[in-house]
Structure 1
Amino acid sequence: MADAPTDSGVSLSTFFDRYKLPSGVKGECDEFVKSRFPEESRPCPFQGYCSYTVCVGTGTVVQFRPFAHKLDLGVITTAREVFGTLAPETDYLGDLGQTGLHIYSMRRLPGVSLIDLRADNDRSALRAKLENVVRDFAQLQAIGWRHAKLNKDVTEKRTVGSSLKWRLELMVARLPRRFHNIVVSVLADLPDIERLPWAFSHGDLIPANIMVCPESGKILGLLDWAEAEYLPFGVGMYGLQELLGEDKDGRFVFYPEAKYFRELFWGELIAAIPELSRDTRRVATIKQAQILGILLWHGIAFDNGKLDRVVEEGKDDAEIERLDAFLLSPLGSSSRILGKSRMLLGSPFALVRKICVGNP
């Protein structure tokens, strides 16, 4: 889905204005925190689109969310069962009177965001740390694989998983024409994609939600599991693209090392899931699932959580630009390149070499 914008701590009123909350509600939120927690508290430096978050001391955050974006604690429990301490412990504290806001306390994850890591390091120092981010991202996918379920065993599919075909059909009809062949190719492969194991997938893999060690770049945790759900393995790899570059002057720009980082990811993934090295067809389908993930996260507008509209040029240009970068640029992913992966032959070592060259 198209990423909702994030607000900096300088503009905290945006959340309250967006949800048409009375002017005194921020004060009520702050007073609630002070009444429940003796430690010093302050608004967190980065605020999400759908919540107001307060940092308490050094180990806790308190989050206020409107009913439309209330957390499903069952989802958080599953995240912790699958990913352990990479997902924060979360408790429900009740609601804030007549405001309609629901309140949660969470363990504050260690480290700094990937955004901060990029800002605080020059290019030479950053490369080695980004290598570790990419390696750990591959390991996250492998954890998801080991805890995956068969399609038939996912008894309660959520917003995205329950509507994959419908969303692709919307995009076939309404995305700009240059993406048409890619979407049609993924739609044709959807039955094979849905036969993959279904892995528990984070729903908002953006740099602000990836917490890393400032010294090494190793991933220490992931924030904001609100939109997580079981999806075909590979769909959650949409987030890899965000690790291969960053926004410069309003446009996404791949790092010079993007090809190397992509090769590193696929090599680490195959090493962590050895059975994939013997199943070239399944690898090809996983790569199509990754393309599906890119389409779902950048081809469908967020629209305050409605997730029912295809992005449009002139209205959602930031997301269109990401689709161009991720699917059509030489350093991005495309189903035309992926089509070649169906022809992979030879030993497991040949497979690793093949999937690491120019593929998603």
Structure 2
Amino acid sequence: MASPSTSSSASLKSFFDRCGLPSTVKYSCDAFVWSQYSGPVRPAPFQGYCSYTLLVGSEIVVQFRPSAYKLDIDITKTACNIFKHLAPETEHLGELEGTDLHAFSMRKLPGVSLADYRAMPSKRSAREQIVLDFARLQAQAYRHARSAEELLNERRTVGSSLTSRLELMSASLPIRFRQIASSILSDISEIEALPWVFTHGDFLAANILVSPDSGKLTGLLDWAEAEWLPFGIGMYGLEELLGEDNQDGRFVYYPEADRLRLLFWGQLMLLIPELAADSKHLALIKKAQKLGILLWHGIAFDDGNLNRVVEEGNDDREIQRLAMFLSQNPKTELKMQKIGSSLISLLGLIRGFLLRKV
């Protein structure tokens, strides 16, 4: 969903104001952590929109979150089971007395945020690395896919309302996006019949950790909005990796964005060969990706309420992203089809060689 931008300078006062709490509650949070741990405690240099975060020594992170953004321990366990070291083991420490804040302890993941990494000099060469790692992340999720029928009683906020949200966007998005939403709505039954995979719900540069040396993906933060969704929807995050905001706050693609996009799809088809073998299936997954873009940038994030379509004049940052992310270069699509055909031929040769060996 469209969410407010976050940065390392996010105001602690704003967080406590949003929770309707006096700023003195910060000291109660600090005291709670001091009572639980013996190591040095300090505020994290990065503070998000939905939490107050403290670092305990070099290995532990403690977050205070209001009920609206409370972590689901079953969800965090699923993230750890599927993505292993990329997700932090998390424990619920309890509720801070007299407040609506819940305390969670988690393992500190290595690396720096992609947002901070991008600010380092001479890091352009690592753009390929994060795109390849994102493809591996999608393939890892696919290997743990479940059927739509299995998840009928486990669908969360987004998964349980795909059709109704598309209907809302088809009727109320700025006119230039309505046809895309309507087109996807006509295929929603087929999209929902795709394998369902565990999907990170807030794939932004601030939540992506990478090695400061290589740019390799080392972890993902903030699994509060994670849930099972049809394969492809979670690939909305690819576009966030192909550019960044300029000084005016407008998203701008990197000069090599088309090449990086092709690199992603080529890697994904190598990791999941059946995608290369079925062009219709691949086209449906790409449509699911556009659905993901619509869901994350076409629905406004109003302090956790996800029931309003973005509007011109009120949500221009998200509308600008919609315009960028939903425009696809036809030449790029054609090249991707050629990559798929080449992979099918290569896989056929490999199978033939193995059969002769047998």
TM-score strictly above 0.5: yes
Which residue does the alignment assign to 1:42? 42
Give yes or no for the alignment of 1:11 onto 2:4.
Answer: no
What amino acid maps onto 2:251 in structure 1? F
Which residue does the alignment assign to 1:151? 148
- The farther-off stretch of 26-35 and 161-170 is 26-35
What amino acid maps onto 2:341 in structure 1? P
CA distance in 2, matches of 1:189, 1:80: 32
CA distance in 2, matches of 1:269, 1:76: 25
- What TM-score does the superposition give when structure 2 sets the normalisation length? 0.91
- What TM-score does the superposition give when structure 1 sets the normalisation length? 0.91
- C-alpha contact 1:54 1:62 (8 A) present in aligned 2: yes
Unaligned runs of 5+ in 2: 347-358
- C-alpha contact 1:135 1:264 (8 A) present in aligned 2: yes
How far did residue 224 of structure 1 move? 0.3
CA distance in 2, matches of 1:152, 1:277: 26
How far did residue 350 of structure 1 move? 6.6
SS of the residue corresponding to residue 296 of structure 2 reads: helix
Which residue does the alignment assign to 2:259? 260
Give yes or no for the alignment of 1:348 onto 2:341.
Answer: yes
CA distance in 2, matches of 1:352, 1:68: 50
Question: Identity percentage over the alignment?
Answer: 58
User: For residues 107-122 of structure 1, what are the structure 2 equivalents within 5 Å?
Assistant: 107-122=107-122
Give yes or no for the alignment of 1:141 onto 2:138.
Answer: yes
- C-alpha contact 2:145 2:196 (8 A) present in aligned 1: yes
Q: 1:347 to 1:193 in 2, by over 3 A?
A: closer
User: For residues 1-360 of structure 1, what are the structure 2 equivalents within 5 Å?
Assistant: 1-9=1-9, 11-122=11-122, 126-154=123-151, 155-249=153-247, 250-328=249-327, 333=328, 337=330, 348-349=341-342
Once the two structures are superposed, residues 292-320 of structure 1 have per-residue CA deviations (whole angstroms, 9 ceiling, x without a partner) of 00000000011111111101111111111
SS of the residue corresponding to residue 315 of structure 1 reads: coil
Q: 1:106 to 1:324 in 2, by over 3 A?
A: same
How far did residue 345 of structure 1 move? 8.4
SS of the residue corresponding to residue 53 of structure 1 reads: strand
Once the two structures are superposed, residues 82-121 of structure 1 have per-residue CA deviations (whole angstroms, 9 ceiling, x without a partner) of 1111100100101110112100001010001101110013
- C-alpha contact 1:294 1:323 (8 A) present in aligned 2: yes
What amino acid maps onto 2:232 in structure 1? G
CA distance in 1, matches of 2:199, 2:108: 21
CA distance in 2, matches of 1:297, 1:88: 23
What amino acid maps onto 2:85 in structure 1? T
SS of the residue corresponding to residue 77 of structure 2 reads: helix
Once the two structures are superposed, residues 63-99 of structure 1 have per-residue CA deviations (whole angstroms, 9 ceiling, x without a partner) of 0011121111010011111111110010010111011
Once the two structures are superposed, residues 18-72 of structure 1 have per-residue CA deviations (whole angstroms, 9 ceiling, x without a partner) of 1110231011111111222222111111111111111111111100011121111
CA distance in 2, matches of 1:211, 1:149: 27
What amino acid maps onto 1:247 in structure 2? D
- C-alpha contact 2:269 2:340 (8 A) present in aligned 1: no
- C-alpha contact 1:344 1:351 (8 A) present in aligned 2: no
Unaligned runs of 5+ in 1: 354-360
- C-alpha contact 2:130 2:215 (8 A) present in aligned 1: yes
Q: 1:101 to 1:346 in 2, by over 3 A?
A: closer
